[in-house]
Amino acid sequence: MGGGGGLGLCLTLLVVIYSLPALVESACGSNAVVFNFGDSNSDTGGFVAGLGSPISLPEGRVFFHRPTGRYCDGRLILDFLCESLKTNYLSPYLESLGSDFRNGANFAIAGSTTLPPNVPFSLHIQVNQFLRFKSRSLELNARGPINEEGFRKALYAIDIGQNDLSAFFDANLPYDQVIQKIPIVISEIKTAIKTLYDNGGKNFWIHNTGPLGCLPVKLSLWKDNSSLDQYGCLMPFNNAAKEFNAQLGALCDELRSELKDATIVYTDIFTIKYDIIANHTTYGFESSLMACCGYGGPPYNFNLNITCGNPACPVCPEGSKYVSWDGVHYAEAANAIVASKILTTEYSKPKVRFDYFCIA
């Protein structure tokens, strides 16, 4: 173990990963209904199903032991949260075979943004897909996977915005122009929440965006070391993420006052993930800023031309402790820790349990 982590830290990390569902006793089970909207951070196979894109090992090598359409070596944060409810993992809305929608559906698609709103698979399109899903379910009456009460009591989870910020920076916009564009992204999220509310949604779980400047995909392309913070992350990217999160938090406060009968929980994913980066050895990780599945070696092991899944791209041995799986997405071990911290309620406003929506 690097950084003096030792066997004790390894065992601690394994306990977090494999006993996560026991951290919170849930009253949900088969009664839980969750609808999720977002990007690759919570995509359980929608992109692969929708575009027919092939995906192969080493994706999914941990836990599932096969590719599942997740851009991860195993489970996502969303998967661990579903485990805490003692319910099934969410099936992708676009997966035509083998899906079970009795406990909800996942509309998240890798690469999704809020802007432009009418391009697949933007947040606006995902919400439209949900509206069709609801309409068809109710039309089918008893044969539909979810009834009216199920839709009313369901949790509506949203985790999006990272790709919007990334696209602004990729377009070489100056920092101040990136900041100027954030309000229109927030406006799209507001529209999505209000549309879901107007269609019966009352329970919302909103994740803010993570530390974009700590991703190997960004760090590998940046040449100005003066822009790095003490942990090696890009300050302009992270500052933009913080501003996005401040405005998203303010939106949740606004909607909490406006939508009196709704519960809107804002969860600080940035702080959780940045703490893991800053204190990675404490959590038992060997590397915080280098991809496990990547090409090019230290310090970031990421090359845009040879990414994870390319036959020429090597992968770290199973059991290695990397925060980053492929330079863009977190590894299952890191996702487990993020989920465990979410379940403490210490990073949420208001501090309600994740299963609050299905407790009678």
Say if residue 1's pLDDT is above 60.
no
Whether 258 shows a pLDDT value over 50: the answer reads yes
Question: Where do we find the tokens 């969750």?
Answer: 34
pLDDT at position 15 over 60: no
Q: Which of 192, 162, 160, 157 is nearest to 81 (CA)?
A: 157
The helix (run of H) or strand (run of E) holding residue 349 is strand 348-349
Share of the chain above pLDDT 70, in %: 92
pLDDT digits (tens, 9 = 90+) for 172-199: 999 999 999 999 999 999 999 999 999 9
CB-neighbour burial class of residue 346 (10 A; exposed 0-12, middle 13-18, buried 19+): exposed
Q: How far apart (Å, rounded) are the C-alpha atoms in residues 341 and 1?
A: 23
Helix 175-198 vs helix 162-170: crossing angle, to nearest 10 = 150
Q: What is the pLDDT of residue 319?
A: 86
User: Of the listed 43, 329, 340, 355, which one is catalytic?
Assistant: 329
Mean pLDDT of the chain: 92
User: Phi and psi for 139 in degrees, rounded to 5?
Assistant: -65, -35
> Is position 40 annotated as part of the catalytic site?
yes
**Does residue 191 sit in helix, strand or coil?**
helix
- The encoded tokens of residue 293 equal 């599945």
Q: Is 224 a catalytic residue?
A: no
Q: How would residue 31 be classed by pLDDT, with cut points 50, 70 and 90?
A: confident
Q: Which of 26, 40, 42, 112 is catalytic?
A: 40
Contact assessment for residue 18 and residue 345, using Cβ atoms and an 8 Å cutoff: no
* CA–CA gap between residue 37 and residue 134 (Å, rounded): 15
> Using one digit for the tens of pLDDT, what is the confidence trace for 326-337?
999 999 999 999
pLDDT digits (tens, 9 = 90+) for 45-82: 999 999 998 899 999 999 999 999 999 999 999 999 99
Q: What per-residue confidence (pLDDT) applies to 100?
A: 94
State which H helix or E strand residue 263 sits in.
strand 263-267
DSSP-derived secondary structure letter, 114: S
* Nearest of 246, 247, 236, 233 to residue 275 by alpha carbon: 233
What are the structure tokens assigned to 185, written together?
Answer: 């992204």
The most confident of 14-18, 28-32, 83-87, by mean pLDDT: 83-87
Domains, the chain, ordered by start = 34-269+330-358 (3.40.50)
Does 288 participate in catalysis according to the annotation? no
Q: What's the pLDDT band for 25 if we cut at 50, 70, 90?
A: low
pTM of the model: 0.92
Longest dimension (CA), the chain: 62
Which runs of E-coded beta strand occur in 167-244? 203-207
Residue 163 DSSP code: H
Considering 326, 340, 348, 355, which one is annotated as catalytic?
326
Q: What is the pLDDT of residue 224?
A: 81
Q: How far apart (Å, rounded) are the C-alpha atoms in residues 328 and 72?
A: 10
Q: Tell me, what DSSP letter sits at residue 203?
A: E
Lowest mean pLDDT among 10-24, 25-39, 288-302, 308-322: 10-24
Question: Minimal CA–CA distance to 130: which of 198, 213, 76?
Answer: 198
> Residue 72 in contact with residue 37, Cβ under 8 Å?
no
Helix (H, G, I), strand (E, B) or coil at 157: strand
Say what percent of the chain tops pLDDT 90. Answer: 86
DSSP3 helix / strand / coil % (the chain, rounded to 5): 45, 10, 45
Q: What integer pLDDT is reported at residue 29 of this predicted model? A: 73
Residue 77 Cα to chain centre, angstroms = 6
